[in-house]
A and B are shown apart, each in its own frame.
Chain A
């Protein structure tokens, strides 16, 4: 059988190198489209050959790399990773199409960075060896850093550095956690190994409770900052807002923090010395993020900044659902990642379009855009509704599963999060009303609607939001299988 996982990781990286050598925008975008479409086709093939009834890793590839340190080349996907790979594979070609007619400096580097990010992110989702995992984890940082610092807004340098330092320090703490786990297991068994499933399994046999908690917290910190969750979210609004539209969409595709939570943290959670404390930490961070992010979003003047803060709020559901620890809340949290990826892509694309045609993103300076931009308005309204949780769209399914599921174990925190629902509806509708409807603000000059490429890419994503909102099973089933597996682990430990 062909090594399909290696291919979906390497093809974007190879095409990134190819894109670097192109001379014109026309060549660069074709290379980027070709690379992302090949990945999409392979991923679709993989999806249809994926068995969503088992929680095991599939399409595994294993080769020795540095045996004396226990480093292997080990790839595989399970029901946690598969939907996220699918999300990346679907959105990235559409993102390339979205930017098809844009004029910017150094298009070759621009498309190379998009492709490199895709390869690195899919690498994180497929790696089953901590060494490889960390390599890809760090690799996601570099293209995004350059993306912000080259094509970003007026405060790009500050935003890029802040993002870089914040998440780099977090990954180093995570690295310490990985080392702790690695050596604890090495001491017990006498053989080094960095294999992720193996180390997660060994975690329960570590003798010292303190060691276990330290390892758990170090890893948790690394993931929580990437998600990001309150109080480590302050890099996000700057980075998301200053990044160019494509960069913001790539940030949204970067679901590696939540992925780590499900893949690494939850299976280890029942074996920590104080699981209830860990659950409380995650529940507090999650519910506070939901509420606090919503309040911050409400007070923003800049549309893109509002969307960025709404992202903090929505990602709070992921942490909360993970802490909920019943299969409904965990799979709801996984689905929230998927849904959030789709919704936010359109949100940021809309902000980008509005900014480039009107020259401003300040909500009060806009007004009545619906008259001039009907196509954009249709798509935007649908997405805003999805984002605030209208039934029939993806956001609803994710948030209801999280809230209903978590209520079993964490009623107090769910109530905190519930308060946010009203505020969420408020800032979405208020922004929509001020920016898109009402009287057209004549000072904006000539405003043009989205072009055919933009309509296509945003339209396809909008259709997917509707489709998965009405019929989530294609991805929800595999998430459910994996969350049931995780929850059954908890049950054996009586958590």
Chain B
């Protein structure tokens, strides 16, 4: 076994522990260095992952697998983690718990990365819980902010419930097939098809993952949690943690339980339609930008779920590509709200509603870079051409039509039309509504994170060929793995 195969994971673990240790000996005002250290660690892990692209291997008795799919999602998580770490430099400024913030963020990342490479349901569950526990704590990072605590509490309770359901589902699968290894389950899934246990397992797992991906009707926690958590953490939750649910669901349903396709395919279709429609319609009347982004995040998850319905290599590739695009767009958008929130709070410490859309008035004049980046993110989320969001929708929706699910594509396309309503509202506030407030200086770490994300969105939109190709390769792992 070549330990170098795990180098990216090791880099993150070492950085996480180092941050935690060093933080103990640093005075609060010099803890800024921890942010640079964490960003550096993530950057190294990202470089190691990119340099090992194309490697295929299995480790630890077949429980960890390295292939195109796991590499792809690892990069998604590392990118989000990088944005999180950079934006965190500003967010944690003057905070005495900086080391915990970064350590938890990095541990969440490591959990997500192991979910991406898990080839065994036990490892998948443990990694899933590692990431979840770390994010529960992060959601409540602002200990004196009631909203943040509420967010964390809700997230924790519902997250635990979903974990329990998932575990129960896994135990049914294990009971029927006698194994927790994903390829072995796929090979033995005949037992599940012929027994009612299969249905029970599918229902439980669907509910478990449904909570994590925030599919309606398992979404109740998401708007409150995304709104209440610090914006930088919301970025990690919406852009990272949600993708973890998607990659796990891909592994469990599309690979392990593909034999039960008839049972879960239609369920995913219904969930996708309800989720995207509910998310978009409710987002229309939100006045809190973070809450709006939370509902938009539901809608986006609804689109991605279409890949589970269509199940062709192109659709799965489209879904996976969408996950990458969404990572950039959503993380960027939340970081932009973080920058605005920072601006509002620095002007008025007791502002009750730093993420209210009124604070975006005239942002084009007050914070030109933030406003420009936010415009790119919301246009991408809406699917305006030449952005990552458009290319993702193009691949995903067109593959849906190709496989004959025209009705599903029509609903999704109409949904995109609705969504433009609230995305355009943000742009209108930023550029077209007057403000009498002054121009403010934009905090550098936020700006840097947003520019990275915006460049990512544009690169994926203009120069999509290699990324689509790569996502298709990742999708082919799912297809061949399931056969």
Residue positions of A touching B, CB distance < 8 A: 65-69, 109, 131, 134-135, 138-139, 142, 146, 149-150, 165, 168-169, 172, 175-176, 179-180, 182-183, 186
Contact = CB atoms under 8 A, between A and B. Distances in A.
Interface in B420-434: 420, 428, 431-432
19 contacts: A66-B464, A66-B468, A68-B469, A69-B395, A138-B385, A139-B385, A150-B432, A165-B417, A168-B420, A169-B417, A172-B413, A172-B414, A172-B417, A176-B401, A176-B413, A179-B397, A179-B398, A179-B402, A183-B398
B468 A68 contact: yes
Query: Interface of chain B, helix or strand or loop or mixed?
Result: helix
A183 B464 contact: no
A142 B401 CA distance: 27
B420 to A, nearest CB: 7
Nearest to B428: A149
Given A66-B465, A69-B468, A172-B414, 15 more contacts: A65-B465, A66-B391, A66-B468, A68-B468, A69-B395, A109-B431, A134-B385, A135-B385, A142-B384, A149-B428, A169-B414, A169-B417, A176-B406, A179-B402, A180-B401
Contacts of A69: 394-395, 468
Contacts of A150: 432
A169 B413 CA distance: 9
B75 interface: no
B465 A67 contact: yes
A175 B409 CA distance: 11
Query: Interface of chain A, helix or strand or loop or mixed?
Result: helix
A135 B462 CA distance: 12
B410 interface: yes
A119 to B, nearest CB: 13
Contacts of A179: 397-398, 401-402, 409
Contacts of A138: 384-385
A169 B421 CA distance: 13
Interface in B427-449: 428, 431-432
A121 B432 CA distance: 24
Contacts, number: 52
A176 B414 CA distance: 11
A186 B402 contact: yes
Given A66-B464, A138-B384, A150-B432, A182 B414 contact: no
B334 to A, nearest CB: 24
B472 interface: yes
Contact of A183 (B384, B402, B468): B402
B430 to A, nearest CB: 12
Contacts of B406: 176
A69 B416 CA distance: 21
Contacts of B397: 179
Nearest to B386: A135
A73 to B, nearest CB: 11
A138 B428 CA distance: 18
A114 B416 CA distance: 26
A433 to B, nearest CB: 41
A114 to B, nearest CB: 17
B429 to A, nearest CB: 13
Nearest to B399: A183
A165 B469 CA distance: 34
A66 B472 CA distance: 13
A183 B401 contact: yes
Interface string B373-404: 00000000000111000010011011001100
For the complex of A and B, 4 pairs with smallest distance between CB atoms: A135-B385, A66-B465, A183-B402, A179-B401
Contacts of B417: 165, 168-169, 172
- Scoring A66, A150, A175 by chain B CB atoms within 10 A of each residue's CB, the highest score goes to A66
Nearest to A161: B421
A124 to B, nearest CB: 12
B187 to A, nearest CB: 31
Contact of A68 (B386, B414, B465): B465
A179 B395 CA distance: 11
Nearest to B431: A109
A180 B410 CA distance: 12
A415 to B, nearest CB: 39
A131 B461 CA distance: 12
